[in-house]
Structure 1
Amino acid sequence: MRIAIVPALILGCTAAAAPGLVGGLLGGVTGGLVGGLTGQLKNTIGKIEQQLNDVGVTGSALLAQLGDIQPLSKPSSIQDVVTILTKIGGVKPATLLESTVQLVLSGLGPSNLATVMNQYSAGVNSENNINREPASPVYPAAAGDVPYSITEEKLRGAIYIPSTFTYGKKPPVILVPATGTKGGFTYYNNLGKLLPQQEYADPVWLNVPGWLLEEVPWNSEFVAYAINYISGITSRNVSVVALSQGNLNTQWALTYWPSTRALVSDYIAVSPDYHGSAIIEAMCPSLGLLSCTPSLSQQTYTSNFIQSFRQRSAAAFVPTTTIYTATDEIVQPQHGTGASGYLLQDSSRPAAGVVNVELQKVCPLDSPASLLSDHVSPLWGAALQALIKDALTHDGPADISRIPNWTGECSKLAADGLTLADVVGTTSIGPIAVASWLLYPKRVTTEPAVPAYAL
């Protein structure tokens, strides 16, 4: 597949080595970590949006020129990363494109986004893994579950089992990535590094084909199968940690593959968009109708898919802890009981307790946990690690009152054991995701139909 070079600019690169038009447009952007977008750079973003509106992602001569542009600087400490992110958010957060540009200008994204789909599709991001047979078959779907539309080979191949996995000696945890991501580059630098060191968690992750840009219900089949499969090869219940769309996938799996509910001990949702996002609603038209992938079109705030989801999947099926930031640049609204990440308690399922953790409400407002405004920063924050530990070592969801020195956890720049490289690697999830949204060849002009089984 030929990959266009589109996002090398959209994801914010400088014109240090770019000739001609690009150098002229961006040549004035110099110095500082996040000095704000200049008029020239804003003008360039406007030109990009126009190109996308006119011709879609592929075939744009202007965008193709921008593949070699490099970041201006690199952070030298975790404090630098915190400073960059808080400046980008600020009291008036930048638009998604502007904030993404500033991230990469500041060294918080990969230097070559033109090869993103190839670069992040092998090794720990492979979707063609060869995994052992379970003791008892877990395919086809159990009685009462929606039949799988995907082959078992593909479903099983998307599960990456690291060499640290103990096959049941420790409690297994399935890590589910977000829209435009793979499990490896999402979790390798945070939970994939920290959880294997603990006795209460044994992580694997999903590398769903299509970068979770295909239809949400299709993506959800990988979660449903993984829960049954990992439980099958470990003879234990599993826990699930998911980021962003990964939470729609998990809740959808729990809804329509009810066999999974008895197998999940805990579910921790990071930056979930259970009610869609108004930002995606605005983003798709501004990038042209041909710039929406199937799953993005389904995650708009008023989509038919989200309407269906709210009717059947907006309450917990298993003990659930959600964590999100009110100033999320991808998912909005994300505050109060109207937050997209707010999950309801169903009185008919009292054992499925819910704790909704809006960081600005439970952490000091001047702490890093509250000040960091982006979609993925909870992954490398100490607050999430504390919530995961509490949830996985107790019955039911996490309870902040049980966590020793919770305020101290909120105040840490990053979770214990993570380095600057880990924090930068985690932060780059955002720019990589935006790149994949733009590079993915399958586009839709209308939202895909909700599956018949959900009507």
Structure 2
Amino acid sequence: MPAPSREVYLSKDSGDAPYLIAQDIPRAAIYIPDSFSLGYIEGSAFPAGKTFHFNFGKLGSAISVDPAWVNLSQASVSDAQVNAEYAANAINYIATLIGQSGLDIQWAQRYWPSTRTVVIDFITRSPDFPGTLVGSLVYPALEAVVCTPSRFQQGWDSSFIHTLRADGGDSAYVSTTTAYSTFDEIVQPMSGPSASAILSDVRSVGGTNVHLQKECAAKPAGAVYTHEGVLYNQLA
């Protein structure tokens, strides 16, 4: 792993929250290929490489970009506050190498404001910015097994969600583009003005909210796509 050109942790910005994890731990979670030219932060429940390799990872051969992977703690199902620390650390670390990637990123931008200055575009798929209404219903048979911190933190009524949104996390800090599907079985609601993927002010910072069934009505990209399906949706 290349050494950063300057120290960015702990004292990058006076407004940043303190890092509670030793720097070498989140740094070891970053995979940067020699041809790196684009960064990703993973979604939920799967390592970043597995999540993106067969879809957006293919951009490398299509438009000459090669992503860096950030494999969050325990495939991102652990404490979202810890995952956000990995994200904030990675954003600032990768930014030093090139001179200037859900909820973890939004939390990172809220509590480590220095990350906002080095992020050009935050592009996210099927996010749940105000949480989801169906968290406890998705895996009822696995309730005793899938008992991870992040599952509870993503509930619409969780302390995590209330804290994030009360502190400005319901607003876009950088240009934010979301793509989401009505038929998301993990995050709901995902249609109408209260869709969980929506940050209401994204247009003011150059972003957009893309509802697949609305933008591509009666077209292939507007068909039935689940939470995972947005990863390989044509428009997304």
**TM-score exceeds 0.5:** yes
1:1-34 CA-to-partner distances (Å, cap 9, x unmatched) read: xxxxxxxxxxxxxxxxxxxxxxxxxxxxxxxxxx
Q: Secondary structure at the residue paired with 1:255?
A: helix
Residue type matched to 2:7 in 1? Answer: P
1:322-367 CA-to-partner distances (Å, cap 9, x unmatched) read: 11001101111110110110112179xx4x23311000111023x2
Q: Equivalent residue for 1:68?
A: none
For 2:112, which of 251, 257, 264 is the aligned residue?
257
2:63 aligned with 1:207, yes or no? no
Residue type matched to 1:154 in 2? Answer: I
Q: Residue 193 of structure 1: CA displacement? A: 1.7
CA distance in 2, matches of 1:164, 1:297: 38
| Cα distance change, pair 369–194 in 1 and its aligned pair in 2 (3 A) | same
| Cα distance change, pair 374–141 in 1 and its aligned pair in 2 (3 A) | farther
Q: Secondary structure at the residue paired with 1:230?
A: helix
2:212 aligned with 1:356, yes or no? no
CA contact (8 A) 2:138 2:186 kept: no
Q: Equivalent residue for 1:407?
A: none
Q: Residue 182 of structure 1: CA displacement? A: 0.7
CA distance in 1, matches of 2:43, 2:53: 14
CA RMSD across the alignment: 1.9
Q: Secondary structure at the residue paired with 1:357?
A: strand
Q: Equivalent residue for 1:314?
A: 170
Q: Equivalent residue for 2:158?
A: 303
Q: Residue 284 of structure 1: CA displacement? A: 6.4
| Cα distance change, pair 290–185 in 1 and its aligned pair in 2 (3 A) | closer
2:45 aligned with 1:180, yes or no? yes
Q: Equivalent residue for 2:131?
A: 276
Q: Equivalent residue for 1:192?
A: 57
CA contact (8 A) 1:316 1:353 kept: no
Give the helix-richer structure, 1 or 2: 1
Q: Secondary structure at the residue paired with 2:16?
A: coil
Q: Residue 289 of structure 1: CA displacement? A: 4.9
CA distance in 2, matches of 1:339, 1:192: 27
CA distance in 1, matches of 2:71, 2:48: 5
CA distance in 1, matches of 2:22, 2:164: 25
Q: Equivalent residue for 1:330?
A: 186
1:215-270 CA-to-partner distances (Å, cap 9, x unmatched) read: 1111011111111111101112xxx3xxxxxx101111111100011111111111
CA distance in 1, matches of 2:202, 2:132: 23
Residue type matched to 1:162 in 2? Answer: P
CA distance in 2, matches of 1:320, 1:360: 19
Q: Residue 292 of structure 1: CA displacement? A: 1.6
2:228 aligned with 1:373, yes or no? no
For 1:266, which of 103, 121, 131 is the aligned residue?
121
Structure 2: gaps of 5 or more residues: none
Q: Secondary structure at the residue paired with 1:269?
A: strand
| Cα distance change, pair 269–293 in 1 and its aligned pair in 2 (3 A) | same
Q: Which aligned pairs between 1:6-155 and structure 2 lie closer than 5 A?
A: 131-142=1-12, 143-155=14-26
CA distance in 2, matches of 1:196, 1:133: 28
| Cα distance change, pair 259–326 in 1 and its aligned pair in 2 (3 A) | same
Residue type matched to 2:97 in 1? Answer: I
Q: Secondary structure at the residue paired with 1:297?
A: helix
Residue type matched to 1:217 in 2? Answer: Q
Q: Residue 286 of structure 1: CA displacement? A: 5.6
Q: Equivalent residue for 2:95?
A: 231
1:250-308 CA-to-partner distances (Å, cap 9, x unmatched) read: 11111110001111111111110111112213346664456421110111121111112
CA distance in 2, matches of 1:318, 1:155: 23
1:401-427 CA-to-partner distances (Å, cap 9, x unmatched) read: xxxxxxxxxxxxxxxxxxxxxxxxxxx
Q: Secondary structure at the residue paired with 2:20?
A: coil
CA contact (8 A) 1:261 1:318 kept: yes
CA contact (8 A) 2:57 2:66 kept: no
- TM-score (ref. length: structure 1): 0.49
CA distance in 1, matches of 2:44, 2:72: 10
Q: Residue 372 of structure 1: CA displacement? A: 2.8
Q: Secondary structure at the residue paired with 1:273?
A: coil
CA contact (8 A) 1:344 1:354 kept: no
Q: Secondary structure at the residue paired with 1:320?
A: strand
Residue type matched to 2:198 in 1? Answer: Y
Q: Secondary structure at the residue paired with 1:214?
A: coil
Q: Secondary structure at the residue paired with 1:336?
A: coil
Q: Which has the larger radius of gyration?
A: 1
Q: Secondary structure at the residue paired with 1:274?
A: coil
Q: Residue 208 of structure 1: CA displacement? A: 1.3
- Structure 1 segments, 4+ long, off by >2 Å, are 281-291
CA contact (8 A) 2:184 2:225 kept: yes
CA distance in 2, matches of 1:135, 1:196: 29
Q: Secondary structure at the residue paired with 2:209?
A: strand
1:156-178 CA-to-partner distances (Å, cap 9, x unmatched) read: 1111112432xxxxxx4321222
CA distance in 1, matches of 2:191, 2:5: 45
